[in-house]
Structure 1
Amino acid sequence: METSFTSAVVILLLVTDPIGNIPLFVSLLRHVAPKRRVLVIVRECAIALAVLLICVPFGSSLLELFGLSERSLNLAGGVILFLIALRMIFHGPEGIFGETASGEPFIVPLAIPSIAGPAAIATVVLLVSRAPQRLPEWLLAVTV
């Protein structure tokens, strides 16, 4: 079955879960100054976009370089999500992901794994590996 551009965009929207990430962003940015929050959100979204855009042309090559299969990528992503879930359940007084020196999250956990998580990266790699001749289309789908 061939994936269309529209279905690729819908799949990426589902796996990045912009609506579901709102509570995480709100809770992690509660100590950040209101004016700075917008900059942090834009920065984290830009980092996530960059990660996904890098995975479009180089994702399959990176998997081959490390000797990984698509199945092992899916399994590793599941393990990472499981560990994050355990940390959410059994967190200490410093919070789920700990506090940074400035109290402002940087890359983890907002950009990666919340937006550009294992599911989003695996989706991008699978899209490209199934139809590498449509690379410009996949780049556009990730950007949308």
Structure 2
Amino acid sequence: MDIFGIAVLIFLVTDPFGNIAIYLAALKNVVPERRVRVVARELLFALALLLLFLTFGAKILSGLGLSREATAIAGGIILFVIAMRLIFPSPQGLLGDLPDGEPMLVPLATPAVAGPSALTVLMTLRNTHEGALWELYLAVFLAWAATSLILLQAAFLQRFLGPRGLTAIERLAGMLLIMLSVDMLLDNLQSVLHIVP
């Protein structure tokens, strides 16, 4: 997978369109003048978490003695589960009830943007990527920048797209993630079973 493909994968897993409603709900009790500053702060926290897991995630996996193929197959399964949640969301949403007051780290930085799914995918990518390490860092930054651009415009996008438009985009992202997860599974099953495509 090239840099652009990895960036798209990370972008889809961070689910910015699905997080618009979460961001708006979490910021409803924050004074309007501080909202952009709070969102920017939370997005920087999310970037720090993503880079932290990208940097040290491989050490965690190698410390557990997991093979490259096992990690990639598990990552494909996790992506498939995430995609199913995007297509068929639960009634209470991703995070359920949100706390009152100005958010700090939780729930906007994590688990909304840098959630368990995104962090697991980064650990998997670090363990399975065969290219240069800087490509992964660049892909994370590109995905984070695109996610940030969308979430900083959350109120406008909600008005412009409406609830149905946001749902349609989220389900389309789920469909793309299903295709990516199946491709990841097939590639690594071929490697394990020594099947030449």
Aligned to 2:124: 126
- CA distance 1:8–1:127, change in 2 (3 Å): same
Q: How big is the shift at 1:61?
A: 1.0
Choose between structure 1 and 2: higher helix proportion. 2
Partner of 1:54: 52
**30, 34, 44: which one aligns with 2:32:** 34
Residues 72-128 of structure 1: per-residue CA shift (max 9 Å, x gap): 9x77xx7xxx9xx88937x9xxx81333xxx11111111101101112111111111
TM-score normalised by structure 2 residue count: 0.56
| Runs of at least 4 residues off by over 2 Å | 62-65, 67-72, 85-89
> 1 CA distance for matches of 2:44 and 2:111?
14
TM-score by length of 1: 0.74
Counterpart position of 2:16: 18
Looking at structure 1, the residues matched to 42 and 65 of structure 2 have their Cα atoms a distance apart, in angstroms, of 27
1:98 aligned partner:
99
| CA apart distance, 1:6 | 1.0
Question: Is structure 2 residue 13 aligned with structure 1 residue 5?
Answer: no
Residue aligned with 2:122, SS = helix
Counterpart of 2:55 in structure 1: which amino acid? Answer: P
Contact conserved, 1:87 with 1:96, CA < 8 A, in 2?
no
Q: Unmatched 5+ residue regions in structure 2? A: 143-197
Question: Which stretches in structure 1 are left out of the alignment for 5+ residues?
Answer: none
Query: Between the two proteins, what is the percent identity of the paired residues?
Result: 36
SS of alignment partner, residue 103 of structure 2: coil
Cα drift, residue 64 of structure 1: 4.2
* Residues 1:108 and 2:106 are matched in the alignment: yes
Q: Partner of 1:88 in structure 2?
A: 92
